[in-house]
Amino acid sequence: MKRKKLAAFGLVIALTASSSSAAFAAAVPAASNMETTAVQQMDQAEETDTDILSDSEAVELQQEIASYSNDGILLTAAAPSTIGGVATTDIINAAKVMIRKYEGSYSSVNANDNGALSIGKMQWHADRAKSLLRIIISGDAASAQAILGDALYNEILSDASWSKRVLTDDEAKKMRTLLATTQSQLAQDVQENTDVTGYVNDIYNRGIRNAAAVVYLADVENQSGSGGVKTILSYAKNFGNLGDLTLNEIHITTVCYAYTNRNSWINKSEKNRTDFITRRINAYTDASGLGWTYCNAGDYRMPSTSPAVSKIGIQWLQNALNQYQNAGLSLDGSYGPATKAAVRAFQQNAGLSVDGDAGVNTIRELIRRLYFNKAIYGRSEIIGNTVTGLVQDTDGRWVYKVNDKIDTTYTGLASNEYGWWYILNGVLDFSYNGFGRNGDSWWYCRGGKVQFDDNGVIEGTVNGTYGWWKVVNSQVIFDNDVCANASGWWKITNGKVDFDYTGLAQNAGGWWYIHNGAVDFGYTGFGQNGNSWWYCRDGQVHFDDTDVIEGTVNGTYGWWKVVNSQVIFDNDVCANVYGWWKITDGKVDFGYTGLAQNVGGWWYIRNGAVDFDKNSVLEGTVNGDTAWWNVRGGQVIFRSTVADNEMGWWRIENGKVNFGYNGIAQNDFGWWYIRNGQVDFGYTGTVTDGNRTYQVVNGNVNRQ
């Protein structure tokens, strides 16, 4: 049994060491001959006692592989038995645990991981994934072919590059099935041990002697390759000899490395950068928690992704904030109000979301600002270490600082994560109720704060001018409007109540009558807007009043023509409940007697009113023609007839007397003899009309 297991294990190791297609072709049959070759292999396996392992044998083999690893069998000769006083096997095993934590499980498949597949518990990528699959296939080719199918099976054995190979959903499903097999798990264990051992040897050979740093960098090498580690260590030399560096210096350098342009994946997006640094912070927390030396004397453990919660790295954070912004914090390891206030000040200065909790973005930015120039360029200066803005001072006051100094000349508004506040001579004034300036805008404050919910007309001083101001969502609105507060509705001119204004003004609700700046809801009468005058009821123009209405317009009392609430300054004849009226320049002309026109015709006016009882022939001017006109029921009747007045009966043609007419003419009472336009009641005799002669008696023509 021992020989079986070692033979199977030896096959895996041999294939791990080989990368040529020829070696695989020799070891693994093509799919076209699979069935025959599989039988031959089984026969050969029986003869050589290297048959396929049972489940119990596989478990035993896994245990033996672990023991070989612990004995250092798979280590290369380059690494000694200890690094930094820690057994190399312990370092390798710690690195395995860390990498597994951030990668996958045995059956993990990422069909498209940054342009190519990744598989297994270490997420072997692209061509490395293909190499692992060849090893797995070599252990049980028939089963692998059955799981993968001929096409995928043969592709794995081919020379085709998988540098850009992504999987379909069906291929990924098949691959998960293969990766879950016992043979796959054994192969992954061996490959993991080989890879991690290689990482440790590479890092050791590059000069690192701190065990915690080796574990940390092994995860970096698994994620970014040996080239990434090489670049990081080339920068880390700015902190001193690589053999003297601890995990802290390596972690700082790696975070700063993420802000260079040396890694194309990191620079592809800010999300990639954040993901990379988040993993580095988590890896640091794990490596620094192994119980091995991770920093120099006088230094501190660096923060986790949430030091306020985990309590890891608070002293380092406090010390870093003291260095960066002279925070004056005690290095007590307590995430108290002073530390939180200092974090808020840093976040505000750095343009981060301000909440006082030092998360990934805050930690990485603090590392970058403190150490980027040192780590990358070997220079000592730090980045942007001055505070400008509203921060809490060490005495508890909230103050407005410019370049770390309280600006006692500043009075106005300033913001922090809690809102916008009123600053008086550089200090937040919580007792202030009034207006404050921010740039070109003015805002109302209550309790020293812009509440963003104040609406109305509010008393105060804006830009040096006292008054009552229109406020919407706490901001002064410099427009023209009519706005309300508890005392009434007010005419707003350029944002301020205009107490000198009397007339009409508009808001979204309509047009209103204003008296001395206030809407007069008791007012009924006329009001002016520009050159127009409008009728108001209860202080408002209703736009539905059409009438002849009494009131004072432009200083003149009278009765006025109103159409849709507007005074119409024309000449007309208009009605109200009292009658029809002669309008002259918009107003009833009570001194007028004569004829006047509207759209309904021409009317006889007496003392300004239409006289509907008037039936006569009257002298007057109609359409520019001065004549005697037939008026019936107060209206000029434009038809031909014979009509009477107190002076006689008259021949009417198109509404007016024809004084040149001689002959006979008809009205509703009969036919009449006309001489010079007038009925001649004194005539008795005959009259000829055309070819006929009629008898006339007292002017009346007998047409029988």
Strands 441-446 and 449-450: antiparallel
* Inter-residue contact 455 to 478 (CB < 8 Å): no
DSSP result, 300-351: -PPP-S-HHHH--SHHHHHHHHHHHH-------S---HHHHHHHHHHHHHHT
| Separation CA 172–CA 288 (nearest Å) | 37
User: Do the domain assignments include residue 211?
Assistant: no
Q: Exposure pattern of 512-527 as b/e (b: 16+ CB <10 Å)?
A: bbbeebbbbeebebbb
Q: What's the pLDDT score for residue 641?
A: 97
User: Do the domain assignments include residue 120?
Assistant: yes
User: Do the domain assignments include residue 256?
Assistant: no
Among 170, 205, 240, the domain boundary falls at 205
User: Do the domain assignments include residue 102?
Assistant: yes
The helix-helix angle for 169-179 and 141-148 (nearest 10°) equals 150
Q: With CA atoms as reference, report the closest residue to 640 among 683, 672, 607, 612.
A: 672
| Separation CA 183–CA 61 (nearest Å) | 11
Exposed/middle/buried for residue 626 (C-beta within 10 Å: 0-12, 13-18, 19+): exposed
What are the beta bridge partners of residue 257? none
Report the domain count for the chain: 3
Q: What's the pLDDT score for residue 387?
A: 66
* Inter-residue contact 617 to 590 (CB < 8 Å): no
Among 205, 236, 259, the domain boundary falls at 205
H helices of 258-313, in order, are 264-267, 270-288, 307-310
* Inter-residue contact 119 to 109 (CB < 8 Å): yes
Q: What's the pLDDT score for residue 143?
A: 92
Q: What's the pLDDT score for residue 386?
A: 66
| Separation CA 607–CA 605 (nearest Å) | 6
The helix-helix angle for 337-350 and 314-325 (nearest 10°) equals 50
Q: What's the pLDDT score for residue 464?
A: 96
pLDDT along the chain (704 residues), means of 10: 36 37 38 33 33 48 44 47 95 95 93 93 93 91 94 94 96 95 93 94 96 97 93 96 97 94 85 94 97 96 95 96 93 96 92 93 94 88 76 78 87 89 96 95 97 96 97 97 96 97 95 97 96 96 97 97 98 96 97 96 97 96 97 97 96 97 95 97 93 94 88
* Inter-residue contact 413 to 407 (CB < 8 Å): no
Torsion of CA 516, 521, 525, 527, to 10 degrees: 40
User: Do the domain assignments include residue 619?
Assistant: no
| Separation CA 653–CA 136 (nearest Å) | 123
* Inter-residue contact 172 to 180 (CB < 8 Å): no
Q: What's the pLDDT score for residue 414?
A: 94
Q: With CA atoms as reference, report the closest residue to 473 among 502, 442, 499, 498.
A: 442
| CATH number of the domain within which 680 lies | 2.10.270
User: Do the domain assignments include residue 46?
Assistant: yes
Q: What's the pLDDT score for residue 390?
A: 86
The helix-helix angle for 182-205 and 55-70 (nearest 10°) equals 10
User: Do the domain assignments include residue 297?
Assistant: no
Q: Quote the domain boundaries for residue 645.
A: 639-702
Q: What's the pLDDT score for residue 6?
A: 34
| The length of the chain, given as a count of residues | 704
Q: What's the pLDDT score for residue 670?
A: 95
User: Do the domain assignments include residue 670?
Assistant: yes
Q: What's the pLDDT score for residue 1?
A: 32
N-term to C-term CA, the chain? 155
Q: What's the pLDDT score for residue 27?
A: 38
Among 478, 497, 529, the domain boundary falls at 478
Q: What is the pTM of this model?
A: 0.51
